[in-house]
Amino acid sequence: MTLFELLIIVCCVYSHITVILHTKIFHTMSSKNILEIFGGNVQKYRKVKQISQEKLAEIAGVHRTYVGMIERAEKNITLRNMEKVAKALEVKIADLLVK
């Protein structure tokens, strides 16, 4: 099976901010895979910052159990919450979507 790169441009206006995401994904990627990639990256950046799930949740303004569910790929996260988590981790949303 041949894998190829797909450029995704997602435009979302939220709080007068236009967020444009550019990321590479493979044609065979399922929605579960993208959740696993996102969750794994959230966990990786959280550990780099040396903060707990509870602290990340507090900074991002989400419930503490929600962060664990994101990291375990149990939640289909919204764009708004992706933005909150990325800002709390001080990274770009696109950084959380790359393998």
Structural domains of the chain, ranges and CATH numbers in brackets: 29-96 (1.10.260.40)
Q: Of the ranges 17-31, 39-53, 57-71, 82-96, which one carries the lowest mean pLDDT score?
A: 17-31
* Residue 15: closest CA among 63, 61, 51: 61
30 pLDDT above the threshold of 70: no
pTM (two decimals): 0.70
In three-state secondary structure terms, 34 is helix
Residue 75 has what pLDDT?
A: 87
29 confidence band (pLDDT: 50, 70, 90):
low
Task: Please tell me the distance from the alpha carbon of residue 7 to that of residue 22, in angstroms, as a whole number.
Answer: 6
In three-state secondary structure terms, 84 is helix
Q: Hey, what's the torsion of the CAs at 75, 53, 34, 87, to 10 degrees?
A: 110
Task: Please tell me the distance from the alpha carbon of residue 50 to that of residue 4, in angstroms, as a whole number.
Answer: 35
Residue 25 has what pLDDT?
A: 45
